[in-house]
Amino acid sequence: MSDVQANRNLPYSGVRVVEMTHMVMGPTCGMVLADLGAEVIKVEPISGDSTRVLRGSGAGFFSTFNRNKKSIAVDVKDPRGVEIVHKLLGGADVFSENFKSGTMDKLGLGYAALSRLNPRLVYVSHKGFLPGPYDHRTALDEVVQMMGGLAYMTGPDGRPLRAGTSVNDIMGGMFGAIGAMAALAQRERTGRGQEVQSALFENNVFLVAQHMMQYAVTGKAAAPMPSRISAWAVYDVFSVKNGAQIFLAVVSDTQWGLFCDAFGLAELKADERIASNNQRVQAREWLLPQLRKHMEAFTAAEISAIFERCGLPYAPLTKPQDLFDDPHLLATGGLAEVTLPPDASGAGQAIATRTVLLPLTLGGERLHLRAAPPSLGQDTQALLTGLGYTPEDLRQLTEAGIVKCQYAQPGDASKPSANELASA
């Protein structure tokens, strides 16, 4: 099956999404829809999405969340740039943005204006807060983790700690995509689009809802995860032979028997004080030190082999970079080969690597990578031509700095000059 045929078989093939997004939240929404087959057009400023050049913990943002998209570089502060976006949106199904409240309205790209332009348009806004007393605040993933209880639950007592990845940004984008899907389905019945909103704070509250309900049910506040009373006696990281660490879990009475048999713990298996899981939880203060001492005699590999054979839950402590070579991900197609263009990698040169696909299958198949993250403006010429702009129009817009076209990688002698556009 060709790539074109495969794309036609995807659920959102034929859906056009125009996004004006940056960082993680908005781009995640577009990536989900793009992976599902939608044509996603990323409208970038002439200077490009700022995440193209982020370093530190943001160095992977652009290359992770912008695959399977097209890029058009437009100055939307100029009326001619806004006109281009309006023309794109006239035939679009979804518009997605994640800028500060009021920004889109000032540009003539707010929901009220665009719904008049295209009544069938689904308008997705990704914000810090849904409308209410907090919606004037500037939010970041870390901000809402602190105010939404997640940092409290993650860190030790008195030491709130953010989760180790952009959980609210990513999930907020996913909920934006879910909202877009729901609005598209409803449009089949009503013929009209609608506004969809997703927000970081409300997403974070959803993540800690189980701890809120724990308090409602028990009357006792949930303790931070490092100091919580676990529901299971053996559910922790163990330091073992040669200084290695491994997470081990024994979560049922049957598993307790298997664990004791496998590691020569007959006395503990026969001890009636710890015959049930709840008894073992109450005995953790004296039981866990014994188990830790016992497990120190085994290597992580030996323990892994025994737990694997017995069907017991365990996990090696893995660093993110180790996952590029994970045998399960490689065997199941969870990673796709990709070459990041220089301005998408932020490294000044193309990088061949692997990227992580959506964690789902459709009809037993993973959703394939169809296109690497785009170079800035790589699709400007094709998209403007499709909107009816002539080569002369392109030349004038390019020379005026309203659009930017990327014909080849920087330094490539084959890249045409602006003058050559007139005869393209």
| 95 and 74 both lie in a single domain | yes
Give pTM, 2 decimals.
0.90
| 343 and 241 both lie in a single domain | no
| 86 and 166 both lie in a single domain | yes
| 200 and 55 both lie in a single domain | yes
The pLDDT value recorded for residue 140 is: 94
145 within domain boundaries: yes
| 175 and 64 both lie in a single domain | yes
**Cβ neighbours, 10 Å, residue 318:** 9
The pLDDT value recorded for residue 266 is: 97
Does residue 413 register a pLDDT over 50? no
| 114 and 26 both lie in a single domain | yes
pLDDT band at 6 (very low <50, low <70, confident <90, very high): low
Does residue 211 register a pLDDT over 80? yes
Domain with residue 110: its CATH number is 3.40.50.10540
407 within domain boundaries: no
| 163 and 302 both lie in a single domain | no
Give the pLDDT confidence of 326-380 residue by residue, as tens digits: 999 999 999 999 999 998 877 778 999 999 999 999 999 999 999 999 999 999 9
Handedness of CA 262, 266, 267, 272 (dihedral sign): positive
> At a CB cut-off of 8 Å and minimum separation 6, what does 45 contact?
73, 74, 75, 76
Are residues 19 and 43 in contact, defined by beta-carbon separation less than 8 angstroms? yes
The helix/strand/coil state of 120 is: coil
The helix/strand/coil state of 239 is: strand
Instruction: Domain of residue 198: give its range.
Output: 3-208+326-366
The pairing of beta strand 234-239 with beta strand 403-404: unpaired
| 201 and 344 both lie in a single domain | yes
| 234 and 108 both lie in a single domain | no
Give the pLDDT confidence of 57-79 residue by residue, as tens digits: 899 999 999 999 999 999 999 99
Query: Domain end: 319, 341, 376, which one?
Result: 319
* Alpha carbon distance 117, 111 (integer Å): 10
DSSP code string of 49-93? -GGGS--GGGTTHHHHH-TTEEEEEE-TTSHHHHHHHHHHHHT-S
| 161 and 38 both lie in a single domain | yes
| 98 and 46 both lie in a single domain | yes
Give the pLDDT confidence of 123-133 residue by residue, as tens digits: 999 999 999 99
Number of domains the chain is built from: 2
* Alpha carbon distance 280, 293 (integer Å): 17
219 within domain boundaries: no
Does residue 17 register a pLDDT over 90? yes
278 within domain boundaries: yes
